[in-house]
């Protein structure tokens, strides 16, 4: 994208924003609250990519209020032995869920407390409903209690605030999230700010973000997708301290907190955004790239420093007549080209995405432990 091509950045959605199901609605796979301990528990690096593969990919993103129709071509000739290793987010997320299951069971046996997560869904968006169902299933899989309130599209803001207040006061609920997007007559910030900071498992409360930004302060919760990105780096044993990192995108949900987390890990951090001059040059200096802009295949092989580690947060539905669904999912990074240059990369799907709910569950467990002083 440099030179004559204009760069278009899309703000990513929250973990509670539904995605994946309808073509053209979602632009990023992001996440809300949570995360696990900082211990370096490494998992094996995923398999190398297929050899001797020539791929030509042409994608067309659908119209959206924030994005024009785009034609993005990504083609690359794979070397006989691709250099990049796959960072298997699905495997890491499963490992984390297994750890959570054990901790939930231990807590229940020791003090009779089961962590609880409450979700408020307003309206009848099929994508939102699907994501809420996925959260419910994930809670059940690890033994966390799940509470759900499904309200009509025309529900008043006061009614939503009333339900938040009930969950704030309920000792069996340790985490609360409001499924986004909300109907346009409801003020999103007022709703998110009403969630108790102690139950803000999405990590969106201004005080949690403020603590994240300050040295010597610790937030109660951190937005899950950026924390999940860091956890992937940790569990694969990639060193962050002293490295040059570039975050592409500056949203409140992913880009900004990801940059803050990398800084906390003693990386030297640059943020590339819609007003950045020479983004390709800046990105090419990075040892670690976290891309979260929601533009299919925007980051090309020429943007990448040889040996860099790439965390691709983007999950973009693009038209594909060969797919039964009529679309398929690609990241912000041209995967085929990146695999020629990077040392490791997250796939799309199967990279950052599976970490989202795993981190949310972990934050819910952390909240319950904190309330009951359970170590």
Q: Quick check: is 202 catalytic?
A: yes
Q: Exposure string (b/e) for 277-298, b if CB count within 10 Å is 16 or more? A: eebbebbbebbbbbbbbbbbbb
Q: Alpha-carbon Rg of the chain, whole angstroms?
A: 20
> 94 catalytic, yes or no?
no
**Catalytic, out of 11, 85, 88, 179:** 179
* 109 labelled catalytic: no
Catalytic, out of 11, 202, 312, 320: 202
Can you tell me the distance from the alpha carbon of 70 to that of 45, in angstroms, rounded to the nearest whole number? 34
Q: Which of 11, 85, 88, 135 is catalytic?
A: 135
Pairing of strands 327-330, 288-291: unpaired
Secondary structure class of 334 (helix, strand, coil): coil
DSSP state string for 108-136 = HHHHS---EEEEEEES--HHHHHHHHHHH
Retrieve residue 66's tokens: 């924030």
Order of strands, sheet of 175-178, starting from the edge strand that comes earlier in the sequence? 145-151, 116-122, 175-178
Instruction: Supply the residues annotated as catalytic.
Output: 135, 179, 202
């Amino acid at each position: 994208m440099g030179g004559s091509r204009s760069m278009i950045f899309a703000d990513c959605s929250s973990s509670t924003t539904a995605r994946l199901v309808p073509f053209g609605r979602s632009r990023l796979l992001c996440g809300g609250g949570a995360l696990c301990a900082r211990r370096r528990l490494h998992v094996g690096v995923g398999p190398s990519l297929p050899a001797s593969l020539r791929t030509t990919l042409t994608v067309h993103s659908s119209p959206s209020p924030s994005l024009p129709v785009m034609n993005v071509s990504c083609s690359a000739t794979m070397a006989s032995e691709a250099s990049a290793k796959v960072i298997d987010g699905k495997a890491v997320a499963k490992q984390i869920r297994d750890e959570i299951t054990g901790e939930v069971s231990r807590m229940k046996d020791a003090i009779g407390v089961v962590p609880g997560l409450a979700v408020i869904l307003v309206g009848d968006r099929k994508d939102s409903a699907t994501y809420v169902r996925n959260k419910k299933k994930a809670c059940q899989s690890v033994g966390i209690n799940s509470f759900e309130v499904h309200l009509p599209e025309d529900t008043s803001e006061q009614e939503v605030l009333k339900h938040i207040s009930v969950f704030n006061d309920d000792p069996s609920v340790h985490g609360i999230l409001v499924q986004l997007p909300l109907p346009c007559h409801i003020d999103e910030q007022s709703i998110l700010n009403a969630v108790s900071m102690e139950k803000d498992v999405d990590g969106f409360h201004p005080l949690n973000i403020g603590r994240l930004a300050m040295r010597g302060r610790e937030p109660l919760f951190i937005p899950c997708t950026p924390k999940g990105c860091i956890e992937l780096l940790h569990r694969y044993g990639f060193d962050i301290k002293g490295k040059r990192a570039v975050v592409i995108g500056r949203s409140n949900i992913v880009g900004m907190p990801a940059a803050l987390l990398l800084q906390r890990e003693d990386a030297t951090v640059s943020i590339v955004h819609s007003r950045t001059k020479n983004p390709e040059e800046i990105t090419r200096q990075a040892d670690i790239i976290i891309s979260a802009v929601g533009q299919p295949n925007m980051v090309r092989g020429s943007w990448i420093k040889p040996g860099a580690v790439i965390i691709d947060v983007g999950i973009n539905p693009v038209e594909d007549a060969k797919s039964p669904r009529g679309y398929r999912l690609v990241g912000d990074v041209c995967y085929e080209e990146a695999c020629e240059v990077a040392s490791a990369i997250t796939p799309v799907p199967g990279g950052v995405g599976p970490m989202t709910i795993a981190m949310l569950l972990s934050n819910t467990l952390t909240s319950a432990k904190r309330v009951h002083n359970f170590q």
